[in-house]
Amino acid sequence: MDEDMLRCVTEQGFAARTLPLPLYVRAHAEVLVPAADAGERLDLRAADIPLLDVAVAADRRGALRQLVERAAVLRILRSGHGSLHDPRDPGGDARDDGPPAVGAGDSHDEAVARAIYQELACRRTESGIEKGTLITGRDQADGPGGVALRGVDGRIDCYLLGETAGVPAVGAVLRLDRLERPLCAVVCDLWERRGVERAVQAVLREFVVTTLPRREGTDRAPFPYGDFHDVVAVGETDFATLTPRPPRDETGELRDRLRLHGHRASVRVLGPADRTALVACRLEPTAKSEATANSEPSAESEPVKRPTTDAEDDWRPRDVATLRLRAPRQLSLTYERDDVRIGRVYHENSKMRTAYGTLPVVDIAEMSPPARRLLGQAYRDFGHARRQYPMRPAGEPRLLTLDQVVRRRRSWAAMGDGELTRAELAHLLTLSYGTTGAAVAGQDLRLPLRATPSAGGLYSSDLFVLVDRVTGVEPGLYYFHPGKRLLQLVDDGRTLAEVAEYTGYRERAGEAAAMVVYVGAFRRNQWKYRERGYRTVLLDCGHLAQSVVTAATSLGLVAHPMIAFVDDYFNAYVGVDGVEDAVLYLTLLGPRRTGDEAA
């Protein structure tokens, strides 16, 4: 699970954050940040977040696995122990020539294999790369070697670069017309197809790093994969001919190849084996320890304990072997996944899928005549209301041109303290949600069409208007009946000033002459669209709100859409349960203040 990988990052004293990538990069990125920035929220000062490392993979789990490994390397470096030497063994053979390779996986064997691959890749780049076999056909591959960039001026070339200790090396070179120099990456992997995928992800990581802002006073960090963009292609091989799958016993095969080439893997367990396995690894000549050349530590090996320092609790990150980058200043970094989990579950459940039937097939011609007639009655009716006002304006209104409407519309334009006229309100409602025509459905049904689009012509939104200052209309909450073009009284026991207390902009709402309340009627829609119907109801409401704003502006009025309101209060006020029917949106209406024509 992703949570296991994330927990392994936090237990090492760091935090992970998702990094949004450009849409033309087909990958997922995570960044390693100090633990203090794990819960960072919206900061209007746009404070910098230091990035300790960047991971790019096909999915979030793969990126988090890389961060687990990098976090372990940083801990080893900051402890002052760059070797696998056990500090409890003064006579042990210590090598302090840099940090060991670290691998993380779902099992001990997987973690060991990843660590060995990383160590071999470092050795391959250190030995110099001058030639390789070009891998062709990758762009058409349907698997791990698929296209990683789309719609850009450039390409990613992959090469077979021979073997290191009997393990194939795969390199990737990213060439973009607007890059100062090509970018390169090398990986080692027994499964060459997986090696192509990992090499592409590694070079994408370097590309992402080049796009991030660097902290002031720091130079660009050296590229860990070396620079071999001038590699000479000495032949070609098709991607489809590469090793189709990894060996069944991958670690056993690795051990055999290392032994054959005079190496053994020295491994220590860094993390618990019951969750994400985490190991550190070095390759050593077998001659140094013949007695243990054929043995490899198991998952029960003694774990490396966190080194003791003079300040045991001071694990604030220092600039040791980090990229010295800072996060881009974008608000998409200011929330945690748990903050939006339910919304993402909803979005997933409301997707349409063609693999199996998710929506009932609706054929209007096969519906009974009463059912067909219901389709044309997408409204409520407060026919017994003690007050009703016709909304059939006489004459044509004087409207601004579309160009003027678009340029003039401002939500926060100043409102005057005067009244709206009944004619203005009637024009607004008619232009935004009135019936504008009819469609023939079968031989016995004419469906009314309105000024605003709606999924399936089901018109899942209802308009209520809270009147405060409208000439010829007494204050109160009214329902707009689009078929009869009537305002029908719903409630006159509360004033707009009282209702404004339950919005996020009390003073602004108090300036309005009227308030439009949009109610979503889910049952009217979801009998046909099921879970996806929730999404279409929201879209219908958005269409209608924009129509109201456009019509109001064309009439010279101010329209201020508002989402800040207490849902339960407004649901109870209108009289809906908030489940089958719910208030979704508000729009404040008022006359434009005199002299504010340019606002």
Statement: the pTM of the whole predicted model exceeds 0.85: no
pLDDT at position 92: 43
**Is residue 38 a contact partner of residue 19, using CB atoms and an 8 Å limit?**
no
Nearest Cα residue to 576 out of 517, 525, 532, 527: 517
Would you call 124 helix, strand, or coil by DSSP? helix
Tell me the pLDDT tens digit for each residue of 45-88. 556 778 899 999 999 999 999 999 999 999 888 776 555 444 43
- Exposure pattern of 145-164 as b/e (b: 16+ CB <10 Å)? bbebbeeeeeebbbbbbeeb
Lowest mean pLDDT among 349-363, 502-516, 556-570: 349-363
Within 13 Å of residue 224, how many CA atoms lie on the same side as its CB? Answer: 19
Q: Can you state the percent helix, strand and coil of the chain, rounding each to 5?
A: 30, 25, 40
Q: Is the pLDDT of residue 170 over 50?
A: yes
Would you call 91 helix, strand, or coil by DSSP? coil
Please give the Cα distance from 478 to 387 (Å, whole number).
9
Q: What are phi and psi of 323, to 5 degrees?
A: -80, -10
Place of tokens 């989990």: 341
Nearest Cα residue to 369 out of 451, 478, 442: 442
Is the alpha carbon torsion for 145, 146, 149, 153 positive or negative? Answer: positive
Q: How far apart, in Å, are the Cα atoms of 214 and each of 48, 49, 210, 220, 483?
A: 10, 11, 9, 8, 61
Return the H-helix or E-strand segment holding 523: helix 523-554
Tell me the pLDDT tens digit for each residue of 235-250. 999 998 998 888 889 9
**Is residue 223 a contact partner of residue 336, using CB atoms and an 8 Å limit?**
no
Please give the Cα distance from 253 to 257 (Å, whole number).
6
Within 13 Å of residue 5, how many CA atoms lie on the same side as its CB? Answer: 24
Any idea how long the chain is? 599
Q: How far is CA 490 from the centre of its chain?
A: 42
The tokens for 3 are: 């949570």
Q: How far is CA 15 from the centre of its chain?
A: 18
pLDDT at position 340: 78
Question: What's the N-to-C CA distance of the chain in angstroms?
Answer: 53
Nearest Cα residue to 111 out of 322, 297, 321, 305: 297
Give residues with Cβ within 8 angstroms of 584, minimum separation 6: 461, 518, 519, 520, 537, 538, 541
pLDDT at position 87: 40
Q: What are phi and psi of 149, to 5 degrees?
A: -125, 145
pLDDT at position 127: 76
pLDDT at position 243: 86
Tell me the pLDDT tens digit for each residue of 543-581. 999 999 999 999 999 999 999 999 999 999 999 999 999
- E strands, 189-331, are 232-238, 263-269, 277-285, 325-326
Please give the Cα distance from 78 to 73 (Å, whole number).
9
Lowest mean pLDDT among 92-101, 266-275, 277-286, 428-437: 92-101
Q: What are phi and psi of 71, to 5 degrees?
A: -60, -40
**Is residue 428 a contact partner of residue 515, using CB atoms and an 8 Å limit?**
no
